[in-house]
Amino acid sequence: MSEETIYSQLELAFRRFYIKLFRYGRGELAKFGISDSQFNIIVTVYFQGPQSLKDLCERLVLAPSTISEMIVRMEESGLVIKRKDEQDKRKILIDLTQESEKIVISVIRARVRYVEELSRGIDKKELEKLRDTLGLLLECHD
Region 53-64: mean pLDDT is 94
Buried b (16+ CB within 10 A) or exposed e, 47-83: eeebbebebbbeebebeeeebeebbeebeeeebbeee
1-58 tens-digit pLDDT? 555 788 899 999 999 999 999 999 999 999 999 999 999 999 999 999 999 999 999 9
- pTM given for the model: 0.83
Region 60-83: mean pLDDT is 95
* pLDDT, the chain, mean: 93
In the chain the domains, ranked by start, together with CATH numbers, are: 3-140 (1.10.10.10)
Q: What is the pLDDT of residue 3?
A: 59
Beta strands in 1-142 (DSSP E): 51-52, 80-84, 92-96
114-126 tens-digit pLDDT? 999 999 999 999 9
Count of residues in the chain: 142
User: Cα(81)–Cα(54) distance, rounded to whole angstroms?
Assistant: 16
pLDDT at 69 exceeding the cut of 70: yes
